[in-house]
Structure 1
């Protein structure tokens, strides 16, 4: 498969006006190819480039998991340890009598939330991919201004206030019982900050970003790089609308450094992160985390019962490690068993599938119906490449 063919297949979606622009990377071992298609800023006709900086939303989660894994390697955190030693706001929590109960109808938690619960998203709070029906807890969450939906870093409460407010709510499920999406990640980011005694951004910079040479990754874009950063778009009632302008929420450092969805990055930066994981925690002679920590992070931790009740994939084909989805069985035209990675709802995806690393970054958010068709096309391309039927 040629670079031109990949460009043609992905570019068809841009030409059809499904999204303004995208940048892609496919690496087979050390053979790296990239491409950029479409517009960064539709109002100015600015092209997307391979060094464009994108909002990566939930592709932040794997970096936060790596930060926590480093502290586990260092002996600062223990996966089995209750988090309330460092996060006393989450001590003595109550649990809803059932997920649809009123917030006052609760029972005692069977045990405290642990570090492992945060990493595996089994703490008892989060989005239930098996049931999106509105519930009383949703209204309480909204009333406390805790944020739910697309990332809005500049509008979030200060982190200590956010955590204190969260601790007044009951859990949806008992700790360890269910996989529920997202909420474990921002809490994990706060845990890392308190355990390290430094803001999450500083810990990531010191232990992950600078050692890996990820010079364009962070919780905001400095003024001298804004020319490589554009607006982000979303479809609202069928009309493409600016979700966030280039000088919007990511143009200044946020008070709330969202460990679940707050980072920006580039193809090259995220590829360096992916290579580090692919190579067992080390890149170009610099060790970031232990090989055992990488194995633990990229191995499924969910039980068959938990997967049957709702996991990262509706068909049960994917489990969850530490901050990443883990493929459990081969898909006919997609990833193979053992592949891992994650997506971002603002329009991005990354995977490591054997020797093939793939990254697709776009400047348009997914709709409520899920990813735009270009992501299915990208997955098909990767399936062909990973199986070696059509090497690049």
Structure 2
């Protein structure tokens, strides 16, 4: 059999490169860096250039914007505080995030932002970790007063204007009513920004400082979750913490709402977001809709990045581009990358 030493076939690795090259040659993707790993071996491809008009060639150390692919990284810092017993999943967040205390909730998600009722209970750490705290990017609310207010108040971090410093950002967030009752509904994105503030306030240190010292410096990025919290001989997170992160935390109703977000954005999704489940900070595959098996976990980024791990096959994969998911091309590339990765697996 045509095998490599990494658990991938040589023919399969060539096909990965050929498909990546075809996307670059199309002119829609200027360049790409991709990594696949299995066991102790990794294989890296760097193809094309950094810009459509040329620029530096892509290399293993090219710097990319991660966008939402950073969500599992933010979550790892939060899970470290759970391991340290400095946070508990069902702690109300009021003591650290007073801006979120005593919340009002919209009576109707498409109603006026002053037509509210009291929240039935406080927001908890668990609500933030599962993206169910009551505010987020919700495609069912596009054009509604609350959706417009999220952008007008400058609390959405992918807006044109830079975000204010964290205390001012939290103040602005606190002026908005919740879209849903705490714990009720999965909504994308904003909970992870709030978690960054929570980590900073619990530790009394800038989020980036704690993240670097506790996660990024010892880790050097990526296979740690597949290895149940270990990186080499050093434990970054406990095994139970990783199991919490990488298993589905949503009810069937919440899963349906999450999947709808992806299916209604089919022009740019091509399967991204349709894994079914959501753990802490990442998707968890609960049904098989393409080549990847159940249990695969990870996430994609709006700037054309993708990172997943697969416990069943022992695979990690990372794909990095500089092209945002405002067009179909990078989503198609991400889809084709994972399709070829799974074809390359040797039993």
Q: TM-score, normalised by structure 1?
A: 0.79
| Offset, 1:140 | 1.8
Query: What's 2:324 paired with?
Result: 365
Q: Quick one: which of 241, 247, 254 aligns to 1:299? A: 247
* Alpha-carbon contact 2:286-2:295 (below 8 Å) kept: yes
Q: Quick one: which of 95, 100, 112 aligns to 2:110? A: 100
Matches within 5 A, 1:368-379: 371-379=330-338
| Offset, 1:8 | 0.9
Query: What's 1:282 paired with?
Result: 230
Query: What's 2:257 paired with?
Result: 309
Query: What's 1:36 paired with?
Result: 46
Matches within 5 A, 1:105-254: 105-129=115-139, 131=140, 133-147=142-156, 149=158, 155-212=162-219, 214=220
Give a deviation string over 1:212-262, Cα, whole Å, max 9, x none. Answer: 2x2xxxxxxxxxxxxxxxxxxxxxxxxxxxxxxxxxxxxxxxxxxxxxxxx
* Alpha-carbon contact 1:334-1:382 (below 8 Å) kept: no
Return the alpha-carbon distance in structure 2 between the equivalents of residues 352 and 43 of structure 1. Answer: 33
Query: What's 1:324 paired with?
Result: 282
Give a deviation string over 1:173-228, Cα, whole Å, max 9, x none. Answer: 0000000000100000000011111011110111111112x2xxxxxxxxxxxxxx
Return the alpha-carbon distance in structure 1 between the equivalents of residues 91 and 143 of structure 2. Answer: 33
Q: TM-score, normalised by structure 2?
A: 0.89
| Offset, 1:368 | 5.8
Gaps (5+ residues) in structure 1?
215-269
| Offset, 1:132 | 5.4
SS across alignment from 1:181: coil
Return the alpha-carbon distance in structure 1 between the equivalents of residues 334 and 53 of structure 2. Answer: 25
* Alpha-carbon contact 2:34-2:317 (below 8 Å) kept: yes
Return the alpha-carbon distance in structure 2 between the equivalents of residues 307 and 370 of structure 1. Answer: 27
Return the alpha-carbon distance in structure 2 between the equivalents of residues 376 and 132 of structure 1. Answer: 28
| Offset, 1:142 | 2.6
Aligned residues: 325
Query: What's 1:17 paired with?
Result: 27
Return the alpha-carbon distance in structure 2 between the equivalents of residues 186 and 15 of structure 1. Answer: 37
Does residue 88 (structure 1) correspond to residue 88 (structure 2)? The answer is no
* Alpha-carbon contact 2:29-2:330 (below 8 Å) kept: no
Query: What's 1:342 paired with?
Result: 299
* 1:201–1:54 Cα change, 3 Å: same
| Offset, 1:149 | 3.5
